């Protein structure tokens, strides 16, 4: 397979769509006022320029010509396939922001290479992996904390290569694994609207208790390696997972699986994908309502919340999950509910219905209603729930998902839940130094990572898949916040939540054109303020500004220099004269459009 050949017709601008005329017929906003080159724009361009050679050097050190990761390949929740793919976290976003085209063919080579590599790698003792750690090009069986982490780069590929044939084919086929379309992988019960186990994948669901070995993988000589969680023996690995036995039934972690049908829906808006997402999320809203507003971590195979014993807090990674850490000798609360926000994000994207945001807000209130007064008179709020009731007390109200809820709703009361946040304070006009400090911080982080991998002397046979994750030089959080008005996607496998995105109509690709900087300085329910600047003093630059990561937001008007222009579309074109820049105020209707990964000139 030669992924570059699949990529070339679209990626390098060789496909010219007749629909391009429809984009250019809309009003073009001319920006001619000179703007001294802002420091923030210079820093943005520097990150975009320096990231690519750093990333290519990283790939050359740790991957071979096939795109195979040079490490000791294993099945396992600690150091398995998910970590291998996470080594390329943020590479797709880096390109979609405007970095050099040189990064994407290398990313695609390694993405395809690792799928082959983990399909060829087989376990001996772990049953699900004996036909390959990847089976049908997908993880044979895992939980959606790790499945989501392994898919975090795949889920961002639509930002740059939405018409890559192998991307489209896998997006649809992998979605089918969770939509009862593959009879050999019966993960989903379409009647009861539930995923039948928290351990699932291309081999189907695990419908019995899991063993520690199935979490850890085949035995190996641990002492030879640097284990990311501090274990020094294989026995410690097993002890780490000996309480991870309860996996049968639906779990809020499975909400991350909604990203696969969402990926497929974004390709062509086939209603079957949207219907599945809505049906599954409606089932979860009903479970929350039946459980006092709190999302359960265990739904039995008969669809009952908590099963016959009512243990809604059950299952590994659930509300009541506080296993022993064999390294520290202490119990640790490992409620992974933050990952569940992914499902709410996806259903909001495809429906625009704020009732899903309301449900998460209601849950925050429900959890915090169990506040207690401690002996010293301070209020304490729970974070966990088990057989003996609420526990895991903390001084601050439980606010998991508060940032997401505020971003989705733009309500003042939701802003109050977030508390101190430097980026939001900048958007509120209270933290003007944030822009340059955040960009400089990311540049410094990139430099540290490059120094780290250059100093790494471990030979391939002594590397685990996660050993190089902290050396990945792609550092885009500040760019995502400041250029797109986005909160950066994390490790959960979520899609991008962004207020704006950009396209280069001349080079026919995603991202700002050469020399262009963008700064989103205000976000509101119905408006966005963005500054665009052209750092070139000789060349005019044209940029398409899109409402939302996937065109989900409608741009009603744009105001420039006191003049308002009606747009009435999810994109507008801005032409920047050499050395020119301006602050634009966009009035918007959020979540008003069907979302799509298709580029503006390829939409009917």
Residue 141 has pLDDT above 90, yes or no: yes
Position 490 in a domain? no
pLDDT reported for residue 228: 85
Which residue, chain included where needed, has tokens 């709190």? 294
Residue 457 has pLDDT above 90, yes or no: yes
From residue 46, alpha-carbon distances to 52, 306, 517, 530 in Å are 11, 52, 11, 20
34 in the same domain as 114? yes
Residue that is last in its domain, among 459, 484, 509 = 484
515 in the same domain as 476? no
Tell me if 425 sits within 8 A of 417, measured CB to CB: no
The pLDDT of 131-160, averaged and rounded, is: 98
- Report the DSSP beta bridge partners of residue 330: 325
542 in the same domain as 407? no
Q: How confident is the model at residue 25 (pLDDT cuts 50, 70, 90)?
A: low
300 in the same domain as 381? yes
Q: How confident is the model at residue 27 (pLDDT cuts 50, 70, 90)?
A: confident
Residue 182 CB contacts under 8 Å (≥ 6 apart), including other chains: 176, 202
Phi and psi of 493, rounded to 5°? 95, 20
**pLDDT tens digit sequence for 543-576:** 999 999 999 999 999 999 999 999 999 999 999 9
Q: Indicate the average pLDDT of the chain.
A: 95
Position 47 in a domain? yes
Position 266 in a domain? yes
Tell me if 125 sits within 8 A of 219, measured CB to CB: yes
* Structural domain range at position 508: 500-602
Tell me if 244 sits within 8 A of 253, measured CB to CB: no
* Burial per residue of 560-583, b for 16 or more beta-carbon CB atoms within 10 angstroms, e otherwise: beeeeeebebbbbbbebbebbbbb
50 in the same domain as 134? yes
pLDDT reported for residue 227: 87
Structural domain count, the chain? 2
Is residue 346 classed as helix, strand or coil in its secondary structure?
Answer: helix
71 in the same domain as 7? yes
pLDDT reported for residue 15: 31
Tell me if 560 sits within 8 A of 580, measured CB to CB: no
Let me know the angle formed at the C-alpha of 468 by 466 and 469, rounded to the nearest 5 degrees: 65
pLDDT reported for residue 23: 53
Position 118 in a domain? yes
CATH of the domain at 294: 1.50.10
The pair of three-digit structure tokens given for residue 81, joined into one six-digit string: 């396939």
Which of these ranges, 222-236, 395-409, 546-560, 583-597, has the smallest mean pLDDT?
Answer: 222-236
The pLDDT of 378-401, averaged and rounded, is: 98
The pLDDT of 323-344, averaged and rounded, is: 96
Position 349 in a domain? yes
Q: How confident is the model at residue 448 (pLDDT cuts 50, 70, 90)?
A: very high
Position 489 in a domain? no
**pLDDT tens digit sequence for 307-329:** 999 999 999 999 999 999 999 99
Please name which of 80, 111, 107, 87 lies closest in space to residue 96, comparing C-alpha atoms.
107
Residue 14 has pLDDT above 90, yes or no: no
pLDDT reported for residue 3: 37
- Distance, in Å, from the CA atom of 181 to the CA atom of 170, rounded to the nearest integer, reads 14
- Distance, in Å, from the CA atom of 199 to the CA atom of 195, rounded to the nearest integer, reads 10
505 in the same domain as 479? no
Q: How confident is the model at residue 13 (pLDDT cuts 50, 70, 90)?
A: very low
The pLDDT of 178-194, averaged and rounded, is: 98
pLDDT reported for residue 460: 97
Residue 11 has pLDDT above 70, yes or no: no
478 in the same domain as 539? no
Which of these ranges, 26-30, 216-220, 307-311, 519-523, has the smallest mean pLDDT?
Answer: 26-30
**What percent of the chain lies above the pLDDT cut of 90?**
94
CATH of the domain at 515: 2.60.40.1180
- Report the DSSP beta bridge partners of residue 389: 386
- Distance, in Å, from the CA atom of 263 to the CA atom of 159, rounded to the nearest integer, reads 11
């Amino acid at each position: 397979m030669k992924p570059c050949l699949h990529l070339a017709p679209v990626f390098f601008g060789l496909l010219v769509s007749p629909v391009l005329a429809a984009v250019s017929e809309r009003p073009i906003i001319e920006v001619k006022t000179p703007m001294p080159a802002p420091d923030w724009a210079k820093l943005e361009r520097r990150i975009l320029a320096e990231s690519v050679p750093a990333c290519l050097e990283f790939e050359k050190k740790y991957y071979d010509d096939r795109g195979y990761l040079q490490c000791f390949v294993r099945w396992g929740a600690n150091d398995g396939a998910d970590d291998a793919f996470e080594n390329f976290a943020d590479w797709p976003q880096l390109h979609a922001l405007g970095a050099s085209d040189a990064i994407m063919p290398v990313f695609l080579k390694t993405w395809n290479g690792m799928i082959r590599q983990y399909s060829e790698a087989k376990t001996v003792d772990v049953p699900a992996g004996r036909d390959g750690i990847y089976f049908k090009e997908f993880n044979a069986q895992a939980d959606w904390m790790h499945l989501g982490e392994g898919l975090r780069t795949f889920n961002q590929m639509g930002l740059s290569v939405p018409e890559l044939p192998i991307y489209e084919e896998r997006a649809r086929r992998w979605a089918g694994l969770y939509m009862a379309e593959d009879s050999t992988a019966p993960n989903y019960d379409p009647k009861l609207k539930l995923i039948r186990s928290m351990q699932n994948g291309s081999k189907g669901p695990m419908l019995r208790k899991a063993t520690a070995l199935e979490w850890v993988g085949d035995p190996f000589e641990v002492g030879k390696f640097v284990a990311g969680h501090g274990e020094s023996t294989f026995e410690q690995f097993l002890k780490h997972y000996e309480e991870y036995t309860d996996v049968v039934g639906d779990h809020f972690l499975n909400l991350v699986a909604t990203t696969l049908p969402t990926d497929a829906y974004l390709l062509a808006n086939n209603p079957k994908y949207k219907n599945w997402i809505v049906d599954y999320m409606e089932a979860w809203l009903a479970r929350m309502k039946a459980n006092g507003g709190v999302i359960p971590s265990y739904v039995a195979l008969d669809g009952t919340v908590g099963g016959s014993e009512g243990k809604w807090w059950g299952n590994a990674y659930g509300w009541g999950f506080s296993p022993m850490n064999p390294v520290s000798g202490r119990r640790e609360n490992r409620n992974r509910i933050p990952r569940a926000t992914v499902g709410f994000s996806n259903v909001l994207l495809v429906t625009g219905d704020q009732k899903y945001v309301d449900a998460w807000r209601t849950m925050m209130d429900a959890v915090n209603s169990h506040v207690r007064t401690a002996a010293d008179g301070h209020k304490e709020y729970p974070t966990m729930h088990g057989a003996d009731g609420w526990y895991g007390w903390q001084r601050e109200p439980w606010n998991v998902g508060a940032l997401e809820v505020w971003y989705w709703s733009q309500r003042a009361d939701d802003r109050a839940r977030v508390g101190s946040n430097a980026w939001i304070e900048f958007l509120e006009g209270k933290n003007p130094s944030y822009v340059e400090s955040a960009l400089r911080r990311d540049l410094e982080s990139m430099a540290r990572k490059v120094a780290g991998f250059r100093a790494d002397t471990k030979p391939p046979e002594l590397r685990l898949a996660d050993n190089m994750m902290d050396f990945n030089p792609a550092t885009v959080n500040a760019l995502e916040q400041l250029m797109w008005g986005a909160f950066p996607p994390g490790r959960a496998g979520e899609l991008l939540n962004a207020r704006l995105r950009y396209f280069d109509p001349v080079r026919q690709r995603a991202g700002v054109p050469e020399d262009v900087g963008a700064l989103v300085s205000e976000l509101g329910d119905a408006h966005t303020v963005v500054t665009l600047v052209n750092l070139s003093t000789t060349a005019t630059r044209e940029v398409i500004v899109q409402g939302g990561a996937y065109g989900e937001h409608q741009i009603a008007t744009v105001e420039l220099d006191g003049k308002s222009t009606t747009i009435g579309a999810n994109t507008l074109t801005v032409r920047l004269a050499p050395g020119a820049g301006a602050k634009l105020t966009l009035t918007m209707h959020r979540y008003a459009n069907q979302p799509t990964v298709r580029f503006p000139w390829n939409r009917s």
